[in-house]
Chains A and B, each alone.
Chain A
Amino acid sequence: MVSVASTFGRSGTHDYVLVRASAIIMALYSLFIIGFFVTTPDVTYANWSALFSSLWVKVFTLLTLTAVLMHGWIGIWQVLTDYVKATRLRALIQFVVSVGLIAMWLTGLFVLWGV
């Protein structure tokens, strides 16, 4: 057993499931947004904000942002542990990316709140 502190999930299996599950959520959300653009002849501010005013779209959006956060966190950690062998540099990059992802999530939360 290789023990590693900075992974996101509890175990390798947990990480693996989170990456797959979050990928499915992101794919569904992408289809949903593409579907909106395809079925809406002219996208205006009115129907765009109407879309995001319904509760389930808000929940779906926030769920997707959470998926991006987990997917990005685990994915970047995997890439960094492959290619960046200097521990301090890797920790720094991981920190910056993780903070960025959390900031993205919070930004999304407040934007949704305001609609």
Chain B
Amino acid sequence: MKKVAISVYRYNPDVDDKPYMKDYTLEVDEKQDLMVLDLLIKLKEQDPSLAFRRSCREGVCGSDGVNMNGKNGLACITPMSSLKGRKIVIRPLPGLPVIRDLIVDMSQFYQQYERIKPYLINDEKTPPARERLQSPEDRAKLDGLYECILCACCSTSCPSFWWNPDKFVGPAGLLHAYRFLIDSRDTATEERLDDLDDAFSVFRCHGIMNCVNVCPKGLNPTKAIGHIKSMLLNRAV
């Protein structure tokens, strides 16, 4: 057995005046490389007051985005061996209001997602009898976009989103915006671009690329944002 030192951000607004870091020690099997979520579950056995979100525990649902040793990621697919340093430090995703411990209020994140109209819009008069077909090439354009699980790791690592979460759509929302902009079955491209053509929604992205660095699904929001910028520019000139 080896000892693992873990420091966790704690805040319960009902009893605490302000947030604090609580230190724990866990005994884990020498040969075992646990995921951070497993550590959190063990900690909760030790201290049932600890609160965090999780559901699928295999990187599919996007519930357990947290900040581990300074980097956002999904606790369930982050092995403890990947975290450098003598201590594991776990904090909530940065930039969003904390509800309790590692649980953040994602409302602003979802509002930005809602704003880009994340659904297919098609105004053709006669809908096809069965389904809207796409060529394999058109379908391929959605790869690298549709896989997003809305975990918010990217948007909460983006400084532009920290400073203007009410105006800048953020990497996750923009990835989805592009997903519908290039969908061959969507007919609202112009309206969608009109809604993004201000100084904040898209253009607050300065290409810092924190989003690419943290995405647990290996997606590239910066590239999608670049495509949106080109679409807006092509339309303007």
What is the interface of chain A, defined by CB distance below 8 A to chain B? 1-4, 7, 9, 11-17, 78, 81-83
Taking a contact as CB atoms under 8 Å apart, the answer to whether B163 and A2 are in contact is no
- Whole-angstrom CA separation of A3 from B196 in the bound complex: 11
- Whole-angstrom CA separation of A4 from B166 in the bound complex: 13
* Cβ 8 A contact of B236, one of A1, A7, A17: A17
Taking a contact as CB atoms under 8 Å apart, the answer to whether B200 and A12 are in contact is yes
* Cβ 8 A contact of B167, one of A2, A9, A11: A2
Residues in chain A near residue B167, CB distance under 8 A: 2
Residues in chain A near residue B202, CB distance under 8 A: 12
* Cβ 8 A contact of B199, one of A2, A17, A83: A2
- Whole-angstrom CA separation of A81 from B199 in the bound complex: 11
- Whole-angstrom CA separation of A1 from B116 in the bound complex: 10
Judged by a CB distance under 8 angstroms, whether B194 is at the interface is yes
Q: A2-B198, A16-B229, A17-B233 are in contact. List 14 more A-B contacts (CB 8 A).
A: A1-B198, A3-B198, A4-B199, A11-B199, A12-B201, A12-B202, A13-B203, A14-B236, A16-B203, A17-B236, A78-B204, A81-B164, A82-B159, A82-B160
**Contact flags (1/0) for B154-188 with A, using CB distance below 8 Å?**
00000110011001000000000000000000000
Interface of A is mostly: helix
What residue of chain B has the Cβ atom nearest to residue A20's Cβ?
B233
Taking a contact as CB atoms under 8 Å apart, the answer to whether A13 and B164 are in contact is no
Taking a contact as CB atoms under 8 Å apart, the answer to whether A12 and B197 are in contact is yes
**Contact flags (1/0) for B192-233 with A, using CB distance below 8 Å?**
001111111111100000000000000000000000010011
- Whole-angstrom CA separation of A14 from B195 in the bound complex: 15
* Cβ 8 A contact of B232, one of A3, A13, A82: A13
* Cβ 8 A contact of A2, one of B160, B200, B232, B235: B200
What residue of chain B has the Cβ atom nearest to residue A83's Cβ?
B163
What residue of chain B has the Cβ atom nearest to residue A74's Cβ?
B199
- Whole-angstrom CA separation of A46 from B140 in the bound complex: 65
Residues in chain A near residue B203, CB distance under 8 A: 12-13, 15-16
Taking a contact as CB atoms under 8 Å apart, the answer to whether B236 and A4 are in contact is no
Residues in chain A near residue B233, CB distance under 8 A: 13, 16-17
Residues in chain B near residue A82, CB distance under 8 A: 159-160, 163-164
What residue of chain B has the Cβ atom nearest to residue A16's Cβ?
B203
Taking a contact as CB atoms under 8 Å apart, the answer to whether A11 and B163 are in contact is no
Nearest 6 pairs of A and B residues by beta carbon: A12-B203, A82-B163, A12-B199, A2-B200, A13-B236, A13-B232
Residues in chain A near residue B163, CB distance under 8 A: 81-83
* Cβ 8 A contact of A15, one of B160, B196, B199, B201: B199
Taking a contact as CB atoms under 8 Å apart, the answer to whether A11 and B198 are in contact is yes
Taking a contact as CB atoms under 8 Å apart, the answer to whether B194 and A12 are in contact is no
Residues in chain B near residue A2, CB distance under 8 A: 167, 198-201
A-B contacts, 26 of them at CB < 8 A, read A1-B195, A1-B197, A1-B198, A2-B198, A3-B198, A7-B199, A11-B198, A11-B199, A12-B196, A12-B202, A12-B203, A12-B232, A13-B197, A13-B203, A13-B232, A13-B235, A13-B236, A15-B199, A16-B229, A16-B233, A17-B233, A78-B204, A82-B160, A82-B163, A82-B164, A83-B163
